Amino acid sequence: MFHPKTYLAVTPNRATLLVGSGNLSTSGLDDGYEVFTTFRSGLPVGDAAIAAWTAWMRRLVELAGDLALAKRFRDLETRIPDRATSLSSAPPPYCTIWTAPSQSSWLPQLSPVGAGLTSSS
């Protein structure tokens, strides 16, 4: 089962976003069958992905209502290179729960696994 995680590494000149299924542990990286993709700032697709990730995470942080988390996230945002935080007109190379089609459009495709699920929208 693919259960994605995201990791963002930031240096003064570059940001690298990893999206994949692996945990950052020895067993998660060495023993599992994990899939990752990398987005680097300075490239159009990387900048779009990092900008979309930043906006998505900002929304999650706001929804959490945790002041310490919000402070840490604001600090992180100041460290991401500018070109990677401005949303371009290019669509991101992945979707989030807020950019994906509603569940009513994808839920029927899960059948028969999703046969017992219902849509509330």
pLDDT tens string 32-66: 777 788 999 999 999 999 999 999 999 999 999 99
> What pLDDT, on the 0 to 100 scale, is given for residue 36?
81
Which band of pLDDT confidence, cut at 50, 70 and 90, is reported for residue 118? Answer: very low
Question: Could you tell me the residue ranges of all domains in the chain?
Answer: 5-115
Task: Give residue 67's pLDDT.
Answer: 96
Q: How far apart are the C-alpha atoms of 5 and 1, rounded to whole Å?
A: 13
| Cα–Cα distance measured from residue 53 to residue 75, given in angstroms and rounded to the nearest whole number | 16
- Least confident range from 61-70, 81-90, 109-118: namely 109-118
Q: Which amino acid is at 63?
A: L
DSSP 19-85: EES--SSHIIIIIS---EEEEETTSHHHHHHHHHHHHHHHHHHHHHT-HHHHHHHHHHHHHS-GGGT
One-letter amino acid of 111:
S
Residue with more model confidence, 99 or 85: 85
Distance CA 8, CA 16 (A): 6
What are the CA-CA distances from residue 99 to residues 44, 53, 90, 116 (Å)?
19, 11, 13, 25
Phi, psi (5° rounding) for residue 40?
-115, 140
- Cα→Cα distances 21→15, 32, 81, 119, Å: 20, 9, 25, 27
For residue 107, name the pLDDT band (cuts at 50, 70, 90).
very low
Question: pLDDT tens, 15-28?
Answer: 999 888 877 777 76
